[in-house]
Amino acid sequence: MDFMASRRIVYTSLGILVILNLGLLGTLWWQNFRPQEKPEQESFFQRKLNLTDEQNARFTELRREHFKASIPLVMQITSLKKELIAESLKEKPDSRTIVMLSDRIGRSHAMLERNLARHFHNMSGVCTAEQRDSLKLILEKATLISRNQNHTPKTKSQQE
């Protein structure tokens, strides 16, 4: 394969990734900022934690604030990962650039995790002591499920 064809494949792949990321971000934005058609519908946390309407409204507000604060970081991480992929696929990748991009991705991800911890803290501040215990169990379970889905090897029947 000649050099120009391989560059075209890389640029086409990056273009597709950009379009997919923009589509995903647009979908997430639409889900979180569109007007709620059925405000009387009970939310997951309202059901699981037995939240009052005021608590539920505050949870919704906190979720929106967290989402708005997270979008720039997620976009920055996505952009840095694209740069990392592009650098890694070069014929002679610069190891210093790869290290620098990896470090920036790590710092951005750490900021995202700090924001998430702050969000959890703000959520717990809305809860009663009993609700806080239930919230802790829900968040721990969600973390374990997420980790198991991402790191558990699939069985043969799951792969098919």
Domain residues of the chain, as ranges?
A: 52-127
Averaged pLDDT, 126-149: 83
Angle made by CA atoms 48, 52, 56, in degrees to the nearest 5: 70
Judged by phi (left if over 0) then psi (alpha if -120 to 50, else beta), residue 80 lies in alpha
Half-sphere exposure of 60 (CA within 13 A, CB side): 20
Averaged pLDDT, 82-87: 93
pLDDT at 153 over 60: no
User: In this predicted model, what pLDDT tens digit does every residue of 33-51 receive, in sequence order?
Assistant: 776 655 556 678 888 888 8
Rounded Cα gap, residues 12 and 6, in angstroms: 10
User: In this predicted model, what pLDDT tens digit does every residue of 4-28 receive, in sequence order?
Assistant: 677 788 888 888 888 988 888 888 8
pLDDT of residue 120: 92
Rounded Cα gap, residues 101 and 106, in angstroms: 9
- Spatial neighbors of 25 by CB under 8 A, at least 6 apart, are 71, 74, 75
pLDDT at 147 over 50: yes
Averaged pLDDT, 116-140: 91
pLDDT of residue 3: 60
pLDDT at 148 over 70: no
Please say whether the structural domain 52-127 has been given the CATH code 1.10.3720.10. no
Q: What is the pTM of this model?
A: 0.62
Say which residue the tokens 């639409």 belong to.
Answer: 30
